[in-house]
Amino acid sequence: MKERDFVQGSMILLVINFLVQTIDFIYDVMLSKFIGAEAMGLFQMAMSILMVFLIVSTVGIPTAVSRLVAEYNSRKDSYGVDKTFKVAFVMTLILSLIFSSIIVIYGEDISIRVFKDEKMVLGLYLLIPAIIVISISSIIRGYYYGLKLVMIPSISQIIEYVTRFVIILGLLYYIYPVKPFYGALIALAGISVGEIFDLIWLNFMLKTWKRKKIIKSNIIPLKVIVRQIIPIAIPLGLSNLLNVILRFLNSLLMPQRLMKIGYSHTEAVATFGRITGMTMPLITLPFMITSAMVINLVPNLSEQMALKNYGDVKRNTLFSIKITLMGAIPLTGLYVFFSEPLGFLLYRDLKVGKFLSIMAYGTLFMALQHTLSGVLNGLKRHVAVTLHRILGMLIQILAIYYLVGNPRFGINGFFLGFLTSGATVVLLDVITIRKMMKLKVDWLDIVIKPLLATLIMIFVIHHGTNLLFGIGVNYSWAFLLSLVMGTLCYLLTLYVSKAIPKNPLRRLIGNN
């Protein structure tokens, strides 16, 4: 695939993903306001369990489908494309049914051990349809991404988030106020609601697309497809599984270690909810950019490596890193300098602002970690990705276990582990990529220009807020208006300094 095609596909995904992540971010903010910090803590604990079951149900198969479909499609082997999809679909469906049954059998034990509340077994039962539906949808998305049909899964995500936003927030608005237990149950039900509408769209478009295809018979044995899927899926599945196990251990260890130093159960769960359900969505906000990059990176780099287009591999890698930094650097600056106004404006909670000011430095690490994982997966360095993240997870778990339960550190122990873990993983990823290829990095273009634009943005926001507040404008509105002005100044500075193309539309549309 040519560089222009990669840029165009990435930017389409970027625009769609920006819309989707914006809806999701607003949903998270409003959800936390409707159900409160304690319910958000219960919801995030249940989400940790959901992610564990999803990872073991899919085992990295969606990424394997995306890569293999891209490779077969590059060779015009339509039979291989179709066969890969069918085998992966059946494998994932069987796994999701098997692991969903575990919740049915052991749901009460899990609810007592994790939530310390037998009633939360109802929340676990609500995860069962989500496990099955999300697993199936992920395979279909991988199929579309492998064929470069990025608009179909992108629209499906918009459908998913909009339906969940309207139905769940509409219900919560109607019955507000709601007790934490019931608020958590409604939030969990919302996962399945959105995913069902998502799957309906994907399945409808799948039938439409497959009717248009002309399959040329080029018989490939079933065992060949399975042998191709497993070496890709297992390392990815292991990496993802370890990641969600970390999240699951966080949901277990964090409240326990906080209670050890004097927090009540309610305070500990609420603190966990503030970190994972309120602060973390802000820290991972660059994912609206990096997700688009990663989705497009894996099949494209795999195809380019298969065709030995090493120049395109280097250019697309640098392009992805540049776009990532252009999104992560200003957000990091924003969180560092304006954490309290953001925490109060979004959640009316000053503790969130305090947590954000510390975790802000992890924004850059999280964004780069996400993009670099896509690069390494596309370059078939799955084992390296897994090992780096294992080390990062061990650092964070050890910090939670030994530092959070120590009165000298308390909750700051989590922050220390979070930042150290992120920096370590990024450093290891960079070292691995540098060993594979020599990238000619234009530091002025990739780092200095976004950093300069960020400083101008911070200056405009700070003085703009003070000026507007000084002439009688409400502080929240003054900050919000200044934030808009600062963002525009950031983009304008990038444009003037030629950090972004002067004719982006011409570059994106081109002669495709």
DSSP 256-281: HHHHHTT--HHHHHHHHHIIIIIIHH
Any idea which residue has 């954000």 for tokens?
356
DSSP 4-52: HHHHHHHHHHHHHHHHHHHHHHHHHHHHHHHHHHHHHHHHHHHHHHHHH
Q: pLDDT at position 489, please?
A: 92
Q: pLDDT at position 511, please?
A: 35
CA-to-CA dists, residue 135 to 138, 197, 252, 273, 456, angstroms: 5, 14, 25, 26, 44
Among candidates 24, 428, 66, 425, which has minimal Cα distance to 243?
A: 425
Q: pLDDT at position 8, please?
A: 57
Local structure of residue 148 (DSSP, 8 states): T
pLDDT, tens digit only, all 512 positions of the chain:
444 555 555 566 667 767 777 787 788 778 877 887 777 777 777 777 777 777 666 667 887 888 788 777 777 777 777 788 888 888 888 888 888 888 888 777 777 776 666 666 777 788 888 888 888 888 888 888 777 777 788 788 888 888 888 888 888 888 887 787 778 888 888 888 888 888 888 888 776 555 445 455 566 666 777 777 777 777 666 766 766 677 677 777 787 888 888 787 777 877 877 887 778 878 887 776 666 666 666 666 766 666 666 677 777 788 888 888 888 899 999 998 988 888 888 777 778 888 888 888 888 898 888 888 878 877 777 778 878 888 888 888 888 888 888 888 888 888 898 899 989 999 998 888 888 877 787 788 888 999 999 999 999 999 998 898 888 888 888 888 998 899 899 989 988 888 775 444 343 333 33
For the chain, the straight-line distance linking the first and the last C-alpha, in angstroms and rounded, comes to: 11
Q: How far apart are CA 319 and CA 432, in angstroms?
A: 18
Q: Do residues 62 and 138 lie in contact, with contact meaning Cβ atoms separated by under 8 Å?
A: yes
CA-to-CA dists, residue 35 to 29, 169, 182, 195, 266, angstroms: 10, 10, 9, 21, 14
* 78 alpha-carbon distance from chain centroid: 31
Q: How far apart are CA 120 and CA 38, in angstroms?
A: 14
* 468 alpha-carbon distance from chain centroid: 36
SS3 call for 110: helix
Q: Do residues 481 and 466 lie in contact, with contact meaning Cβ atoms separated by under 8 Å?
A: no
Token couple for 220:
């490939």
**Angle, helix 362-378 to helix 310-337, in steps of 10 degrees:** 160
Q: pLDDT at position 501, please?
A: 53
Q: pLDDT at position 60, please?
A: 74
Q: How far apart are CA 301 and CA 293, in angstroms?
A: 11
Among candidates 237, 241, 111, which has minimal Cα distance to 181?
A: 111
Q: How far apart are CA 61 and CA 231, in angstroms?
A: 10
CA-to-CA dists, residue 381 to 236, 308, 372, angstroms: 10, 16, 11
Any idea which residue has 């960079």 for tokens?
430
Q: Do residues 331 and 29 lie in contact, with contact meaning Cβ atoms separated by under 8 Å?
A: no
Any idea which residue has 């927090």 for tokens?
263
Phi and psi torsions of 307, nearest 5°: -90, 0
Any idea which residue has 């990823």 for tokens?
429
The model carries a pTM of 0.65
Q: What is the CA radius of gyration of the chain?
A: 23
Q: pLDDT at position 160, please?
A: 84
